[in-house]
């Protein structure tokens, strides 16, 4: 097994209010089989042994499902590798002697908590403003009780793959949350269960998105390129269409 | 009664609503370009054809047509400019810059939209002063004598003389190059913002956008280049 010696340029920030700075660390003898987060674990072990403050970062499942590992690697959220989260990135993708720049997901709507940890509660508030359906709870309905065309089921499923990691916002030149909001709205708007609250959902989620201070979409599709679940920007077009229709219906009702 | 006005307020204040306004006004300007180019290319059909067209524009609806078009275009242009500046300002202040910046797939043209747009604004001001107001020129005195002895403005000669100045042509070509860049991203964006782009149509829309930009570009620059490089029409204005 070969070992890598790397130079890390890492964003260090005490708390949300303090000024951050880039610090340089040597990451020596990193096995190529390590994941990116394991590489930081190794560096942190050494920092702790040396009595220094370890690099703080978000992580949870480490298998690409939870969407917690929010970091920008050489300017690209979750790295330039397509369709993966940071925890699924392996060190064999890097060359010996390489310098890696690691920064938090940057957006005013995602304030830094500490180092690479950001507060992405803005997404939760967007979901609370419409990303749900109101149904009677209780026993599960029969699977065939509501017929759903295959194309709609597939489109809803593609959108539902969103893990809410925030890479779309971090990659967007304008820190826009349109891919996230469109995926969450599209997921429910494609299904019969989502129809009754469709207009309310679209208007509510877009209003909350604007209030959180995200930027505006300029159709550059950087979001689509970095999305670990490869969600298509065609969902953004659907959100635009649904928003126009919802606004029109809202103005005459 | 307050409900409709409130929904409209919310629409104009929302990011998507503003983008839809930019897209619709952009569409109007894109269609205007096609019409403007078609008319302009009549210059190659000769002095009579071009001056007939110019006269038609000034006489349609008893002279009101050209003013309806001017006011409409001014409204579209102003709204397009106002909302894009508003959106761009919000976008620029939506985050602290990355110390290591990277672009994955955004085309260059999409990154300079505001700058290509502002250059086009500068060009339009110059273009209107040059050929519409005719400021600082004697273009208004160019007359074509008709077979029946009457006179009309010689727009054809005005264009030939106007584009005999190399500085004008250089600025014109630079502005058209940036217009081409603006359109290559802008036309596709209209479809996306109005919700007409799907996975299936994404490829054709990108192609259409680039093709439209190139056609508009080549069409417009063909006129000054034919005049200054190949001496088109120059014998007539001596």
**Of A232, A226, A182, the residue nearest A83 (C-alpha):** A226
Q: How confident is the model at residue B2 (pLDDT cuts 50, 70, 90)?
A: very low
Token pair belonging to B137: 């020129």
- Non-local (6+) Cβ contacts of A247 within 8 A are A203, B7, B10, B11, B17
**A226 neighbourhood in chain B, CB within 8 Å:** 104
Q: For residue A107, give the nearest of B95, B189, B196 by CB distance.
A: B95
| Contact across the interface for B15 and A72, Cβ inside 8 Å | no
| Contact across the interface for A203 and B10, Cβ inside 8 Å | yes
| Contact across the interface for B4 and A251, Cβ inside 8 Å | yes
- B96-134: pLDDT as tens digits: 999 999 999 999 999 999 999 999 999 999 999 999 999
Q: How confident is the model at residue B1 (pLDDT cuts 50, 70, 90)?
A: very low
Residue of A nearest to B199 (CA): A234
Q: B145 - beta bridge partners? A: B151
CA distance A48 to chain B (A): 26
pLDDT of the residue at A140:
84
pLDDT at B3 over 70: no
Distance CA A167, CA A179 (A): 10
pLDDT of the residue at A123:
98
**A225 neighbourhood in chain B, CB within 8 Å:** 104-105
Radius of gyration of chain A (CA): 20
The length of chain A, given as a count of residues: 253
The domains found in chain A, sorted by start residue, are: 3-109 (3.10.20.30), 120-133+148-252 (1.10.1060.10)
Helix (H) or strand (E) holding B64: helix B64-92
**B3 neighbourhood in chain A, CB within 8 Å:** 250-251, 253
Three-state secondary structure readout of A99-155: EEEEECCCCCCCCEEECCEECCHHHHHHHHCCCCCCCCCCCCCCCCCCCCCHHHHHH
pLDDT of the residue at B233:
85
pTM, two decimal places: 0.94
- A115-125: pLDDT as tens digits: 999 999 999 99
Q: A35 - beta bridge partners? A: A90
| Chain B 100-139, residues with CB within 8 Å of chain A CB atoms | 100-107, 110-111, 113
B19 touches chain A (CB under 8 A): yes
pLDDT of the residue at B201:
96
CA dihedral B131, B136, B138, B141 (to 10 degrees): 70
Which regions in chain A score pLDDT beneath 50?
A: none
Distance CA A213, CA A108 (A): 7
How large is the average pLDDT for residues B15-36?
Answer: 97
Chain center to CA of A138:
32
B190 touches chain A (CB under 8 A): no
pLDDT at B4 over 60: no
ipTM surpasses cut 0.90: yes
**B197 neighbourhood in chain A, CB within 8 Å:** 234, 237
**B11 neighbourhood in chain A, CB within 8 Å:** 247, 251
How large is the average pLDDT for residues B72-88?
Answer: 97
């Amino acid at each position: 097994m070969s070992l890598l010696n790397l130079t890390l340029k890492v964003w260090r920030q005490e708390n949300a209010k303090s000024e951050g700075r880039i610090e340089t660390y040597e990451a020596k003898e990193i096995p190529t089989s390590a994941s990116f987060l394991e590489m930081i674990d190794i560096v942190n072990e050494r920092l702790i042994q040396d009595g220094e403050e370890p690099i703080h970062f978000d992580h949870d499942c480490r298998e690409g499902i939870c969407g917690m590992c929010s970091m920008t690697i050489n300017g690209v959220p979750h790295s330039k590798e397509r369709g993966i989260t940071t925890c699924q990135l392996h060190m064999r993708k890097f060359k010996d002697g390489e310098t890696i720049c690691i920064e938090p997901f940057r957006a005013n709507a995602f304030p830094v908590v500490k180092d690479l940890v950001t507060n992405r509660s803005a997404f939760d508030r967007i979901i609370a403003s419409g990303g749900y359906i109101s149904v009677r709870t209780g026993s599960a309905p029969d699977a065939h009780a509501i017929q759903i065309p295959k194309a709609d089921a597939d489109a809803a499923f593609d959108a539902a793959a969103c893990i809410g990691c925030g890479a779309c916002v971090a990659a967007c030149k304008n820190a826009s949350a349109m891919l996230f909001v469109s995926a969450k709205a599209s997921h429910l708007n494609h299904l019969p269960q989502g129809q009754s609250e469709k207009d309310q959902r679209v208007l509510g989620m877009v209003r909350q998105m604007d209030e959180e201070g995200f930027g505006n979409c300029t159709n550059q599709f950087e979001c689509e390129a970095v999305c670990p679940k490869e969600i298509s920007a065609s969902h953004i077009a659907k959100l635009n269409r649904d928003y126009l229709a919802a606004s029109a219906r809202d103005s005459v009702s | 009664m307050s409900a409709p006005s409130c929904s409209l307020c919310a629409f104009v204040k929302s990011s998507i609503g503003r983008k839809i306004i930019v897209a619709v006004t952009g569409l109007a300007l894109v269609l205007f370009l096609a019409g403007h180019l078609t008319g302009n290319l009549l210059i190659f059909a000769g002095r009579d054809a071009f001056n007939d067209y110019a006269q038609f524009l000034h006489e349609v609806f008893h002279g009101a047509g050209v003013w309806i078009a001017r006011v409409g275009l001014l409204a579209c242009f102003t709204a397009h400019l106002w909302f894009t500046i508003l959106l761009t300002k919000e976008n620029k202040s939506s985050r602290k810059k990355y110390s290591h910046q990277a672009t994955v797939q955004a085309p260059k043209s999409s990154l300079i939209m505001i700058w290509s747009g502002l250059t086009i604004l500068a060009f339009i001001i110059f273009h209107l002063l040059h050929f519409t107001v005719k400021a600082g020129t004697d273009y208004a005195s160019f007359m074509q004598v008709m077979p029946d002895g009457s006179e009309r403005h010689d727009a054809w000669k005005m264009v030939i003389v106007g584009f005999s100045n190399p500085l004008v042509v250089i600025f014109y070509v630079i502005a058209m190059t940036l217009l081409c860049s603006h359109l290559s991203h802008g036309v596709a964006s209209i479809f996306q913002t109005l919700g007409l782009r799907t996975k299936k149509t994404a490829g054709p829309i990108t192609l259409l956008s680039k093709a439209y930009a190139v056609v508009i570009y080549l069409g417009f620059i063909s006129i000054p280049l034919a005049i200054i490089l190949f001496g088109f029409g120059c014998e007539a204005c001596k």
